[in-house]
């Protein structure tokens, strides 16, 4: 049996490079609470993402959860259920009501045609998701948000380094949340960041992630603890040096998948959007009219020690914890896609031979069925 192939594998710098980066932590013994490496990483990421305002967090989820609190959003927030648990939970954990909008069948982002009909006098914000790094229809979202005076926060957990017509996605909307989790294109082990348009938010966010403390004897907000520590920041400083090469390697693998799987009946691929520089974060495939169902393909690969993932199934509006509140029937396209989508292994060091093998298993599975 071949070695297991997981859906992804963390990118890591050489051990020597990381050890060199963390050495001085033993001199100054300053390990967290917005230390030197934290500040350096913020500056370097602002440059890389070409955006003026950034605040680091211990993970992407808390960044989003605290941002919603800091913006003092109220009532209802329009979002999509085709996402990781985090997006919906961040809304609900702030005491707000998520209102689910359906997704586009081609790029799985929020369907703007339906957006206006979901807005009520209680709506305070829209939280769309750049799912798999596909960029939402930001121009239409911006138009609607302006018309109804709503905040726009992008869940950009998948969209690190993505640009649209040359503009970094970190500059869209009022704010964006990025995840630097171990499974992401750029990681700080666990980690995340917010980018935002209003520079005065920086102090508020820094305070929110540090218990709401604003001075030696003042606590102005009911914040919590979501600071990135110096070891995380050190990992980020190292990984950032290699991220362009990582994305390039992913592109080669992505293109190999396309070469292998293009033009197979029943297999729909999500090709890069026009004007978008992708980060090749995920390789989602829709099985629709293929001789095997999505679940059968998943099980066939698993038998061969290849672990694809059903990102995103189940939809968040069908989670057990929301059983009595929401239903996936309100978002029929998302429900349809979630039943048919499978994300294939994709990471910088995946060999092209392994990509060919994965694709060959899928192609031969058709003949086995016949």
Q: Least separation, in Å, of the C-beta of 143 and ligand T4K?
A: 24
Contact between 84 and ligand T4K per CB under 6 A: yes
Residue positions counted in the chain: 370
> Which lies closer to ligand T4K via its Cβ, residue 79 or residue 290?
79
> Which lies closer to ligand T4K via its Cβ, residue 169 or residue 290?
169
Contact between 358 and ligand T4K per CB under 6 A: no
Using CB under 6 A as the binding criterion, the count of chain residues that bind ligand T4K stands at 23
C-alpha pair distances (Å), 304 with each of 294, 343, 347: 16, 16, 18
For residue 224, give both structure tokens. 């919590």
Say if residues 346 and 251 touch (Cβ distance below 8 Å).
no
Contact between 87 and ligand T4K per CB under 6 A: yes
C-alpha pair distances (Å), 143 with each of 77, 116, 138, 302, 362: 17, 11, 8, 45, 43
> Which lies closer to ligand T4K via its Cβ, residue 143 or residue 298?
298
Q: Among residue numbers 286 through 325, which ones bind ligand T4K (CB under 6 A)?
A: 307, 311
> Peptide bond before 269: cis, by omega within 30 degrees of 0?
no
User: Judged by CB under 6 A, which stretch of 2-10, 17-25, 318-326, 327-335 contacts ligand T4K?
Assistant: 2-10
Contact between 171 and ligand T4K per CB under 6 A: no
Tell which residue, 343, 226, 225, 234, has the closest CA to residue 284.
Answer: 343
**Cβ contacts of residue 141 below 8 Å, gap of 6+?**
110, 112, 115, 126, 128, 152, 173
> Which lies closer to ligand T4K via its Cβ, residue 99 or residue 235?
235
Q: Least separation, in Å, of the C-beta of 155 and ligand T4K?
A: 5
C-alpha pair distances (Å), 236 with each of 176, 247, 265: 19, 15, 42
> Which lies closer to ligand T4K via its Cβ, residue 7 or residue 49?
7
Contact between 157 and ligand T4K per CB under 6 A: yes
Q: Among residue numbers 122 through 151, which ones bind ligand T4K (CB under 6 A)?
A: 129
Which string of x and - marks every residue 10-29 that binds ligand T4K (by CB under 6 A)?
x-------------------
Among 51, 80, 83, 207, binds ligand T4K (CB under 6 A): 83
User: Judged by CB under 6 A, which stretch of 14-22, 41-49, 178-186, 291-299 contacts ligand T4K?
Assistant: 178-186
Which string of x and - marks every residue 39-78 that binds ligand T4K (by CB under 6 A)?
--------------------xxx-----------------
> Which lies closer to ligand T4K via its Cβ, residue 155 or residue 290?
155
Q: Least separation, in Å, of the C-beta of 220 and ligand T4K?
A: 26
Q: Among residue numbers 182 through 201, which ones bind ligand T4K (CB under 6 A)?
A: 182-183, 192
Q: Least separation, in Å, of the C-beta of 181 and ligand T4K?
A: 3
Among 155, 174, 230, 246, binds ligand T4K (CB under 6 A): 155
For residue 311, give both structure tokens. 């990102």
> Which lies closer to ligand T4K via its Cβ, residue 278 or residue 290?
278
Contact between 181 and ligand T4K per CB under 6 A: yes
Instruction: Dihedral sign for Cα 72, 76, 79, 85, please.
Output: positive
> Which lies closer to ligand T4K via its Cβ, residue 231 or residue 307?
307
- Residue number of the CB closest to ligand T4K reads 60
In which order are the strands placed within the sheet that holds 97-100?
A: 54-57, 192-196, 175-179, 151-155, 123-127, 76-79, 97-100
Question: Which residues are at the interface with ligand T4K (CB under 6 A)?
Answer: 6-10, 59-61, 83-84, 86-87, 129, 155, 157-158, 179, 181-183, 192, 307, 311
């Amino acid at each position: 049996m071949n070695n297991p192939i997981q859906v992804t594998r963390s990118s890591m710098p050489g051990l020597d490079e990381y050890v060199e980066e963390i050495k001085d932590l033993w001199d100054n013994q300053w390990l967290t609470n917005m230390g030197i490496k934290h500040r350096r990483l913020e500056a370097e990421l602002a440059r890389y993402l070409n955006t003026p305002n950034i605040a680091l967090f211990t993970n992407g989820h808390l960044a989003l959860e605290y941002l919603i609190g800091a913006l003092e959003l109220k009532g209802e927030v329009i979002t999509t259920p085709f996402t990781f648990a985090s997006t919906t939970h961040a809304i609900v954990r702030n005491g707000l009501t998520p209102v689910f909008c359906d997704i586009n069948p081609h790029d799985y982002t929020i369907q703007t045609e339906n957006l206006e009909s979901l807005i009520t006098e209680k709506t305070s914000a829209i939280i769309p998701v750049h799912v798999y790094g596909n960029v939402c229809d930001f121009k239409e979202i911006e138009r609607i948000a302006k018309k109804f005076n709503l905040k726009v926060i992008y869940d950009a957990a998948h969209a690190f380094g993505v640009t649209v017509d040359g503009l970094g996605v970190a500059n869209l909307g009022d704010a964006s949340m990025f995840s630097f989790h171990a499974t992401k294109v750029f990681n700080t082990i666990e980690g995340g960041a917010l980018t935002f348009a209003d520079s005065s938010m920086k102090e508020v966010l820094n305070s929110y992630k540090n218990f709401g403390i604003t001075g030696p004897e003042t606590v102005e907000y009911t914040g919590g603890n979501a600071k990135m520590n110096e070891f995380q920041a050190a990992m980020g400083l190292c990984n950032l040096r290699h991220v362009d090469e990582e994305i390039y390697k992913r592109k080669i693998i992505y293109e190999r998948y396309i070469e292998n799987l293009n033009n197979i009946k029943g297999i729909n691929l999500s090709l890069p959007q026009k004007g978008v520089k992708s980060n090749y974060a995920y390789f989602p495939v829709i099985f629709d009219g293929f001789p095997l169902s999505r679940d059968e393909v998943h099980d066939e690969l698993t038998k061969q020690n290849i672990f694809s993932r059903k990102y995103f199934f189940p939809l968040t509006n069908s989670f057990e914890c929301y059983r009595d509140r929401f239903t996936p029937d309100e978002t029929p396209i998302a429900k349809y896609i979630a039943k048919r989508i499978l994300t294939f292994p994709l990471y910088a060091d995946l060999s092209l031979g392994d990509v060919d093998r994965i694709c060959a298993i899928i192609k031969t599975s058709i003949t086995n069925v016949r």
